[in-house]
A and B are shown apart, each in its own frame.
Chain A
Amino acid sequence: MLGRRSAAVPAVREPVSHALRATGVGKKIDEAVLLLPTDVELGAAECVVLRGPNGSGKTTLLRILAGTMSPSQGEATLDGSAVDERHDSTRTTIAALIGAPATYRDLTLVDHLVLIDSTWGHVGKPAADRADEILELLEIDHLAQRFPHELSSGQQQLFHLSMVLVRPSSILILDEPEQRLDPDKRDLLTAILLDRKDDGSGLLIACHDPVMTAALADSVVDIRSE
């Protein structure tokens, strides 16, 4: 199953135009301001990059737009409705990597991808093929039979990205995907994300890498801090 090369990025849902929008979205907990009011708009085949210093609220904004956190003010919508991760339609549309996803300590890398793919309704041989393709795409196919606890930190990051890329989605939300990756792997990730964008995916990315930002961004939103 392993050893083939593929330039395809197979996990893009059929191109359907989705609009993810944040209008005056801010977050406060008691007196602590996590995010000042911010506007973001993301359409199909578009990439928006969030920039800002540590603590400015990039991750908070991503969480709100992924529907896992509610804003204190403003409105976050997906296709006009409040974005809420508990809705099946939200989960079907948005794939998010915000922090490390949970992994099973008794499954290998390729098993994780087959499991995720199968739970999204892909039955039969393609799930295994798609898992291999994603691993090859991220150049970690030689690690397919390792367990998550046997990976380096950079390999962990690539594995986490593979788990998000293997599931179908129309919008990808990534929080600093370049973390712990060497320059070659950052270039590789940039190419993969550009392919996803060309295939119709919307990309919302918090990123500190100016080279990646320049290559990917259709628009850049600078998040202000207090």
Chain B
Amino acid sequence: MTVADKQRLRQVRSAILGNRPDTSVSNALYPVYVAVIAAASYGVPAAQQLFRSLDGKWLAAHAWTPVGAIVALSFTAALLALVPLVGRVHGPVVPPLPYLELVVDSPMPRKVTLARNWQLSFGGSVVGGLLIGAVGGAGLAIAKVVAPVVLMPATVCGALIGVLVAELWLQGQVHSTPLALRPDSSLPRGRRNALALLDITGLKRQAASNATIGGAVLAGDLRTARLDAARPPTHARQVHLRPSGPLLVIARRDLLGLRRAPWSALYGLGLAAAGSAGLMLSLQSPRTPTLAPLVAMILAYLGFGALCEGLRLHADNSGTSRLLGLAYRDTALAHLVVPVSAWAASAAVVSLPLYMTGLLRPSAMVWALGAGALLAGAHLMASFRGLPPAGVFGPRAGVPAMIFWYSKPLLATLVLGTATAAWGARSATPWMAFSWLLIAAAGIVQWGLKLVDKRDRRS
């Protein structure tokens, strides 16, 4: 940035601020201060408790093995691979709409007008990574999983990952802009010129989406946030929905929806396969750490959820003119046919090679089917939960209450799925644990159906 550029930007900022003092530095530093306090007072104790509860001895034995390193690297790489996707929906450089209209749209260089937003996001990402590294390192050291000396490299690694996250985030935003990859563009490409490659249409779209999503999150309306973030489908328009019976056509609708969102289908099937395999393998030995079924249930929940778009759309459509000739509850149940079948199919596919190599007993497949019922009930709950009650926004409740309210389906799945799997793996009578899994699944399905009926009555 040249001296002249700095001078012009200063003029712009003073015009925006008017007579008010420039508090931008303190505004940027305050969240850092709060994050540091929160990390030290809540993050470190929570992290060390988490590592202790996840079988600290097992973690200590495996942390420094090649397998442990591969798992850690794979996990980090998977997270980094997701970052550009986030940038496509919400990038690191999203100034407010008036600033875009009046300043960024002016002849001033984009590298100048967008520099401050980029620096803030970059700084936030680096500080965030640093704090996560420090909290994780401290938690591992206090739980005696690793030596205290690991704290420093963990912090540095966290900061470096923060740098990578920021760069990948920006690249994701650049690639989402309509003009960014135009072959006839004379603008130089590359990391250094990334800010100049951001076009005004893409920036405005993200700024508008930012306002919608931000408002929706503050209001506890995740449906609006989800629909705003999702890309409208345009694939496979030439494939038609085949006519069939009333219930079958709903399942066919969901299959067609997945065909038109192939990445969602692949992601769902992949996670469902990984989750079901992890769950079935975790039942094979009483020495399996509780962490294994917990991670497996998280993957299973995410995978099953990706296959439930039809169910969520049915819940979204409540309250409008009814055109379908099916009862509301029947339609909701019909929307579960595809995700439950896909879950069962992916579990069967992954169990076959595991069974043939002697890693799995056939009874594990039955367990996976029981877990499928639990997942179906949890996603009924998640799709039809509606908006949080007013009490969640009260002065005594706050953000944790809202997060808890939204997380109920996930928490129910994790607690019940993990507890019964851990019990089943350690018990001499695993059928007893399986019976409790089925009872819990039936309860969760009933809870979900109650929410469906409640939404039906309100619409």
Q: Of B142-150, B243-251, B443-451, which binds chain A?
A: B243-251
Q: Identify which of residues 252-311 in chain B touch chain A, using a CB-to-CB cut-off of 8 Å.
A: 253, 256-257, 260-261, 309
Convert A145-161 into 0s and 1s, putting 1 for each residue whose CB lies closer than 8 angstroms to a CB of B.
11101000000000000
**Inter-subunit contact B240/A118 (CB<8 Å):** no
**Inter-subunit contact B232/A114 (CB<8 Å):** no
**Inter-subunit contact A101/B234 (CB<8 Å):** no
Of the candidates A99, A124, A167, the one whose C-beta lies within 8 Å of that of B323 is A167
Q: Of B49-57, B158-166, B186-194, B314-322, which binds chain A?
A: B314-322
Chain B residues contacting A106 (CB-CB under 8 Å) are 233, 256-257, 260-261, 309, 313
**Inter-subunit contact B321/A91 (CB<8 Å):** no
**B324 CB within 8 Å of chain A:** yes
CA distance A101 to B230 in the complex (A): 20
**A214 CB within 8 Å of chain B:** no
CA distance A110 to B243 in the complex (A): 11
**Inter-subunit contact A119/B326 (CB<8 Å):** yes
**B237 CB within 8 Å of chain A:** yes
**B358 CB within 8 Å of chain A:** no
**B107 CB within 8 Å of chain A:** no
**A123 CB within 8 Å of chain B:** yes
**A96 CB within 8 Å of chain B:** yes
CA distance A92 to B323 in the complex (A): 10
**Inter-subunit contact B321/A110 (CB<8 Å):** no
A24 to chain B, nearest CB (A): 26
**A208 CB within 8 Å of chain B:** no
**Inter-subunit contact A96/B238 (CB<8 Å):** no
**B241 CB within 8 Å of chain A:** yes
CA distance A70 to B331 in the complex (A): 25
Chain A residues contacting B327 (CB-CB under 8 Å) are 88
CA distance A127 to B237 in the complex (A): 18
Chain A residues contacting B309 (CB-CB under 8 Å) are 106
**Inter-subunit contact B241/A119 (CB<8 Å):** no
Convert A110-131 into 0s and 1s, putting 1 for each residue whose CB lies closer than 8 angstroms to a CB of B.
1100111111111111111000
**Inter-subunit contact A123/B243 (CB<8 Å):** yes
**Inter-subunit contact A120/B256 (CB<8 Å):** no
CA distance A149 to B234 in the complex (A): 10
**Inter-subunit contact A104/B313 (CB<8 Å):** yes
**B325 CB within 8 Å of chain A:** yes
**Inter-subunit contact A128/B317 (CB<8 Å):** no
**Inter-subunit contact A121/B246 (CB<8 Å):** yes
Chain A residues contacting B244 (CB-CB under 8 Å) are 118, 123
**Inter-subunit contact B237/A122 (CB<8 Å):** no
A163 to chain B, nearest CB (A): 5
Q: How many residues of B contact A (CB 8 A)?
A: 35
Convert A169-194 into 0s and 1s, putting 1 for each residue whose CB lies closer than 8 angstroms to a CB of B.
00000000000000000000000000
Q: Identify which of residues 24-38 in chain B touch chain A, using a CB-to-CB cut-off of 8 Å.
A: none
A122 to chain B, nearest CB (A): 7
Chain B residues contacting A1 (CB-CB under 8 Å) are 240
**Inter-subunit contact A120/B313 (CB<8 Å):** no
**A32 CB within 8 Å of chain B:** no
CA distance A1 to B230 in the complex (A): 31
Chain B residues contacting A22 (CB-CB under 8 Å) are none
A176 to chain B, nearest CB (A): 14
Chain B residues contacting A149 (CB-CB under 8 Å) are 232
Q: Given that A105-B313, A164-B323 are contacting pairs, would A119 and B234 also be in contact in the complex, using a CB cutoff of 8 Å?
A: no
**Inter-subunit contact A128/B240 (CB<8 Å):** yes
CA distance A94 to B223 in the complex (A): 30
Chain B residues contacting A105 (CB-CB under 8 Å) are 227, 230, 232-233, 313
**A41 CB within 8 Å of chain B:** no
**A107 CB within 8 Å of chain B:** yes
Chain B residues contacting A128 (CB-CB under 8 Å) are 240, 242-243
CA distance A5 to B453 in the complex (A): 42
**Inter-subunit contact A145/B249 (CB<8 Å):** no
**Inter-subunit contact A98/B321 (CB<8 Å):** yes
CA distance A101 to B321 in the complex (A): 5
**A100 CB within 8 Å of chain B:** yes
Chain A residues contacting B325 (CB-CB under 8 Å) are 91-92, 116, 119-121, 167
A107 to chain B, nearest CB (A): 7
Chain B residues contacting A102 (CB-CB under 8 Å) are 316-317, 320-321
B163 to chain A, nearest CB (A): 37
CA distance A117 to B324 in the complex (A): 8
CA distance A120 to B245 in the complex (A): 9
Q: Given that A128-B240, A145-B238 are contacting pairs, would A107 and B256 also be in contact in the complex, using a CB cutoff of 8 Å?
A: yes
**A135 CB within 8 Å of chain B:** no
**Inter-subunit contact A111/B253 (CB<8 Å):** yes
CA distance A103 to B240 in the complex (A): 16
Of the candidates B257, B321, B326, the one whose C-beta lies within 8 Å of that of A104 is B257
**A20 CB within 8 Å of chain B:** no
**A199 CB within 8 Å of chain B:** no
**Inter-subunit contact B321/A107 (CB<8 Å):** no
Residue contacts A-B, CB under 8 angstroms, 10 given? A102-B320, A105-B232, A106-B257, A106-B261, A110-B240, A111-B253, A116-B323, A119-B325, A120-B325, A145-B238
Q: A102-B321, A105-B230, A111-B253 are in contact. List 19 more A-B contacts (CB 8 A).
A: A100-B320, A101-B323, A104-B317, A105-B313, A106-B260, A111-B241, A111-B256, A114-B242, A115-B241, A115-B253, A116-B324, A119-B326, A121-B325, A123-B243, A126-B243, A147-B234, A149-B232, A167-B323, A167-B325
> Which 10 residue pairs spanning A and B have beta carbons closest together?
A127-B243, A102-B317, A120-B325, A118-B249, A111-B241, A102-B320, A106-B257, A119-B325, A101-B321, A119-B324
A interface, CB within 8 angstroms of B? 1, 85, 88, 91-92, 95-108, 110-111, 114-128, 145-147, 149, 163-164, 167
